Amino acid sequence: MSPTTQRGEIDWLESPIADQVPTLAHAAGVTVEVSEPCGSIGIMRFNHLYPPFDNPAVRRALLGAVNQTDFMTVVGGPDHTLWHDRVGLFAPSSPLANEAGGEVMSGSRDYEKVKRDLAAAGYRGEKIVMPASTVGYIAILSQVGVDQLRQAGMDVEMQTMDLATLLRRVASKAPPDRGGWNVHFNILNGVYNFNPAGNTAIRGDGKSGIPGWPSSPKLEALRDAWIEADNFVEEKQISEQTQLQLWEDVPYIPLGHWVRSTAHRRDIVDLPWGFPAFYGVRRV
C-alpha cells in the first residue's frame, strides 16, 4: 500500500500498519497524522462458558504471560509516543486511568512460573481453540498472542478466517470442539474505556452479555456504584476498585493502548477526526 500512496494512486489510507508509517511520513506530498486520539485497547478475550477459561485461577495465571510491550511494538511501531504499555481497565487519556494492581502487567515475564501456576490451577494441556482474523490489527494481535500462550505451555490451535466469519464464530456459544472457541483477540475503542459504564467487555452479566459471557456480581455491583456516585472523588475510588477486580476476575486481559495514524495526500483536506468518513472531504 505504501508505494501506491507515495505514487499518488491512493489518496487516503485509513490506517497504515506500523511498518508503513515511517516511510509514509517521509514521503513527498503525503501527510501522516493521528486522527483518533482516544486510540484503541487490545484485549485477550476468554470464553467463560467452557474449560479451561471457566476457571478464574487459569485466567489469572495468564496475567504473568502477557507482555504488553510486545503487542504494542508490533501494532504501534517503534515510536513509543504512539502507544502505552502497563495499561489496565481505562484508556491512558481517561481521567479515571489509574495504576491499581498494575504490577501484574509489569516486570519481566516468567513463563516457567506461569506454567507452574497453570498446572496448580488445573490446566492439563487441553487444546485451546483460538479463531483469528487473516488481516488487520486483530491478525497482528493474534500472532503475538498465540506465541505468548504457547510459551506459557498452552496447546493452542489457531484457526484463521475472514473477519465476518470470525465475528460469527465468537458469537457462538457452542463447545470449542463443535464450532465454538476458547480465546480470541479483539480491540476496544479507547473512548469506550473512559469509564466503567462504557466498557461492555467488563460486564459480568453472564450468558446475557457480549461474547465471552463472564459472570461477575462484583464487577456488576461496582459498575452500578460508579453510575450512582455523587462526585469525581467517589468515581475515582470506585474505578480503582473496579480495576483491582479486573485482575481478580479477569474477564479479559488488556494488551496495551495505541493511537492509529492515518496517511493522505496533502491536497486532500477537511478529513474528519475519529472514525473515517468521506463527508466534507475535498481536494484543493
By DSSP bridging, strand 155-161 and strand 127-133 are parallel
Note whether 109 and 142 are same-domain residues.
yes
CATH code assigned at 221: 3.10.105.10
Average pLDDT, whole number, for the chain?
92
Per residue in 186-212, pLDDT tens? 999 888 889 999 899 999 998 888 999
Same domain, 137 and 205: yes
Q: How far is residue 63's CA from residue 129's CA, in Å, rounded to a whole number?
A: 19
Say how far apart CA 244 and CA 142 lie, in whole Å: 26
Give per-residue pLDDT as tens, 55-75.
Answer: 999 999 999 999 999 999 999
User: Does the pLDDT at position 3 exceed 60?
Assistant: no
Domain that holds residue 10: 2-36+261-283
**Tens of pLDDT along 156-171?**
999 999 999 999 999 9
Residue 121 sits in the same domain as residue 200 = yes
**DSSP notation for 19-39:** TTHHHHHTSTTEEEEE--TT-
Banded pLDDT at 245 (limits 50, 70, 90): very high
Q: Are residues 115 and 235 in the same domain?
A: yes
In whole angstroms, what is the distance from residue 142 CA to residue 266 CA? Answer: 34
Same domain? For 147 and 132 the reply is yes
Reported as a pLDDT band with limits 50, 70 and 90, residue 8 is low
Considering only CA atoms, which of 128, 114, 253 is closest in space to residue 183?
Answer: 128
Considering the domain architecture, whether residues 44 and 167 belong to the same structural domain is answered as yes
Q: Cis before residue 196, ω within 30 degrees of 0?
A: no
pLDDT band at 136 (very low <50, low <70, confident <90, very high): confident
Same domain, 24 and 101: no
d(CA 156, CA 159): 9
Q: Do both 145 and 157 map to the same domain?
A: yes
Mind listing the pLDDT tens digit for each residue in 84-132?
999 999 999 899 999 999 999 988 899 999 999 999 999 999 999 999 9
Q: Are residues 107 and 232 both part of a single domain?
A: yes
Q: Verify that 113 and 160 share a domain, yes or no.
A: yes
Number of domains comprising the chain: 2
pLDDT class for 33, splitting at 50, 70, 90? confident
Residues 75 and 159 in one domain: yes
Share of the chain above pLDDT 70, in %: 96
Say yes or no to pLDDT of 275 above 90: no
What CATH number does residue 25 fall under?
3.40.190.10
Whether 105 and 241 map to the same domain: the answer is: yes
**What pLDDT, on a 0 to 100 scale, did the predictor assign at position 4?**
54
User: Which ranges of the chain would DSSP assign to H, the alpha helix?
Assistant: 2-6, 21-25, 56-61, 68-76, 111-121, 136-151, 163-170, 217-228, 232-249
Query: What integer pLDDT is reported at residue 1 of this predicted model?
Result: 45
DSSP 127-145: EEEEEEESSHHHHHHHHHH
